[in-house]
A = this chain, B = another copy of it.
Amino acid sequence: MAALPVLAYSNPMKDILAYIDGNLDASLNRLFELLRIPSISAQKSHAVDCRAAALWARDTLTEMGFTARLSETTGLPGVIAQHHAAGPHTPHVLFYGHYDVQPADPLNLWHADPFDPQIIDGPRGKRIVARGAVDDKGQVVSFFEACRAHLAVTGTLPVRLTILLEGEEECGSPSLAELLTNERETLAADFVLVADTNMWNFETPAITTSLRGLAAVEVTITGPSRDLHSGLYGGIALNPINALTRILGDLQDDQGGIRIPGFYDGVAPLAPALAASWKQLGFNPEAFLGDVGLKNPAGEHGQSPLAQLWARPTAEINGIFGGYQGDGTKTVIPSEATAKLTFRLVPGQDPKKVIENFERFVNDRLRPDAKASFKSYGASPGFAVSLDAPFMRAAQQAMADEFGKPAALVGCGASIPVVEAFKTHIGLDTLLAGFGLDDDAIHSPNEKFEVACFHRGARTHARLLQAFAG
């Protein structure tokens, strides 16, 4: 590709958007080049394809004017590209995406080859169908196209930009910590922009401002040294299943609150701005719960359904087992019983303290002869970005400009590992703003990305880059 022409207009954003609009077909063609590469990171046989996808990104960004290279790891390489012409006094934005995709199985459920991208008609206009259409190649290329438009119209970018593409996101990011640590200096930006999430709905963009953390623990209550006959020992011998249920039955109070002392230490009430924003979302708990056969929000009384999902911590028993589990009945008092729990955490809670407090909660309730042992399976804190952070204000403005309405400020009840990794390894907060929809069928057959979402994603990214510049 030849050097891009530099056009100097009085309102560059208008021209940048017009450039995106006018080059949509070319943008889609570039996306299709990437979609045709079956970069399935979970399958060793596709390692060469993964590397091809990384090289495609490196070369594409190089042609656009970035300084781009692969960053090798013990696993698949990262791609790192920088464009710092905006100068040291502009914000430094780190864009994160991933070039790998999920396996395409089951292949027989696809209407076309998952790596032969199609444009088909759908209820919201044209859509792109391919593995990776939205997760994450479509989202990545929509950002590339925003950069391309800036460069085409103004000859530069309004901020310093570093792009990091990972190649193992779909198989658990085994080398991400290594990559972030190796590239710590290069990645020393002001914040991270991650385009791997969804809009609130087709008309409304969204920014995910909080994620819940997680602490996982397993508790085993041991009683007798061997399984006992309940006729010969029942009544006099401690039953560890009875003991375990007695302890865990005490976890929640009648109002749905968690009774572990200290559990809520550091948990702040929901910020009024978020509460107000959530009220506007029109979340329908009856429909949400009705889809899975439920009716009643089961969390803390006095907390809204969305707060129960996004802003309040939980204590879930994910598994329990002990004694006889076959057909019929067996008169056994087992030697032990086990439960696996996870706590969803919100900002302010210390995951280590949560585990310690749980262990104390159990130990304080042990009956004579009951012994408790614990296994811990890792812990990560909750995450939240202040609505007042400059990049957050900028993002809200850019999205409102593009969509004519404010972005939904949403939470997520689960953790997102890359967000945690950026915080842990390079100390950066993350702006989560993506353009997928809930019905995009990521990880499933016939994954799709609405062309309108791809297009508006590129336009919004172009506005975001400008807005970050202040």
A interface residues, Cβ below 8 angstroms from B: 212, 214, 216, 218, 223-226, 228-239, 241-242, 244-252, 285, 288-289, 292-300, 305, 308-309, 312-325, 328-334, 337, 339-340, 342, 344, 367-369, 377-378, 412-415
Contact = CB atoms under 8 A, between A and B. Distances in A.
Contacts of A293: 223-226
Nearest to A248: B245
Interface centre among A229, A309, A317, A378 (most CB of B within 10 A): A317
A344 to B, nearest CB: 5
Count identical subunits in the complex: 2
B317 A320 contact: no
A340 B324 contact: yes
A346 to B, nearest CB: 10
A207 to B, nearest CB: 18
Nearest to A328: B377
A344 B312 contact: no
Contacts of A298: 235-239, 367-369
Nearest to A333: B316
Nearest to A246: B249
A318 B337 CA distance: 10
Contact of A234 (B224, B251, B314, B321): B314
Contact of A368 (B224, B248, B296, B377): B296
A318 B331 contact: yes
B241 A251 contact: no
A415 B230 CA distance: 11
B369 A295 contact: yes
Contacts of A413: 231-235
B314 A324 contact: no
B323 A330 contact: no
Contacts of A334: 318-319
A242 B317 contact: yes
A294 B331 contact: no
Nearest to A376: B329
A294 to B, nearest CB: 5
24 contacts: A223-B293, A224-B293, A224-B294, A225-B292, A226-B292, A231-B414, A232-B309, A234-B342, A235-B344, A236-B289, A236-B308, A242-B252, A244-B245, A245-B245, A245-B251, A245-B317, A294-B369, A318-B332, A318-B333, A319-B324, A324-B340, A329-B340, A329-B377, A330-B340
A224 B369 contact: no
Given A344-B235, A415-B231, A337 B320 contact: yes
Given A231-B344, A238-B294, A247-B249, A320 B320 contact: yes
A342 B241 CA distance: 13
B285 A342 contact: no
Given A245-B245, A331-B342, 16 more contacts: A223-B293, A225-B292, A225-B293, A226-B292, A231-B412, A233-B413, A234-B344, A236-B285, A236-B289, A239-B316, A241-B317, A248-B249, A289-B369, A320-B322, A320-B325, A329-B342
A208 B407 CA distance: 78
A245 B329 contact: no
Given A296-B238, A299-B236, A342-B329, A229 B321 contact: no
B230 A344 contact: yes
A392 to B, nearest CB: 23
What are the 9 tightest A-B residue pairs by CB atom distance, in nearest-first order? A249-B249, A231-B414, A225-B293, A319-B323, A319-B324, A245-B248, A241-B317, A296-B368, A216-B329
Given A320-B337, A325-B319, A414-B229, A312 B249 contact: no
Most buried by B among A236, A246, A294: A236
Most B C-beta atoms less than 10 A away, residue of A233, A367, A377, A412: A233
Given A214-B331, A329-B216, A331-B318, A309 B247 contact: no
Nearest to A323: B319
B241 A294 contact: no
Contacts of A252: 242, 246
A414 B232 contact: yes
Given A212-B231, A231-B413, A317 B239 contact: yes
A406 to B, nearest CB: 24
Contact of A309 (B236, B294, B295, B323): B236
Identify which of A226, A249, A318, A323 gathers the most chain B CB atoms within 10 Å of its CB.
A318
Contacts of A297: 236
